[in-house]
Each structure stands twice: as C-alpha cells, then as structure tokens.
C-alpha cells in the first residue's frame, strides 16, 4: 500500500473541476484509491462524495492506494493533485 499526503493550496479547495479530474483519472486504475479527511474515508472515484468532504485551502488530505497498479496510480494522481490543487 502507498499513501500520499498533501496540503491543499487552491483558494476554493476541492471543487467540481478538480474533483472531476481526480475521479476520472482514478477510474483508469484497478487499485483501490481512497481519500482520508477529518476521520472520513471515501472512494476517490465518487465525485459527489469527494466534494461533500468540504476540503478547503490549507486542509491536509491523505490518499491511499492499494492494488496491482498502485504505483502507477500514485504517480498519476499525486502529480495531478500537485498541479491542480
């Protein structure tokens, strides 16, 4: 299992556009990918669940990757998140 921790820099936080990009990218992989925030855990492919976490600027999220292609998923999503959030 791999994990990625990130502090959100975007002024709006995780909103519709980045949530859509994150979910669509995650759907390309077989790995089980979850986001953890304030004691909650949701599948990162669920756009509405991702947005309902209400992640704002300066909040810290953790994303976990578990599966056969977890390394590829980790590389793709960590880069996407760093570039968009």
Per annotation, catalytic residue among 2, 6, 10, 15 = 15
Cα distance between residue 66 and residue 30, in whole Å: 9
Q: Is 15 a catalytic residue?
A: yes
Residue 1 buriedness (CB in 10 A; 0-12 / 13-18 / 19+): exposed
Q: Is 67 helix (H, G, I), strand (E, B) or coil?
A: coil
Residues with catalytic function: 15
């Amino acid at each position: 299992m791999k994990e990625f921790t990130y502090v959100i820099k975007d002024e709006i936080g995780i909103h519709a556009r980045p949530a859509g990009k994150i979910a669509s990218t995650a759907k390309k992989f077989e790995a089980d990918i979850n986001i953890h925030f304030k004691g909650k855990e949701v599948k990162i492919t669920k756009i509405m669940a991702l947005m309902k976490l209400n992640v704002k600027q300066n909040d810290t999220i953790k994303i976990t990757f578990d599966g056969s292609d977890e390394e590829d998923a980790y590389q793709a999503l960590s880069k996407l998140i760093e570039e968009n959030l």
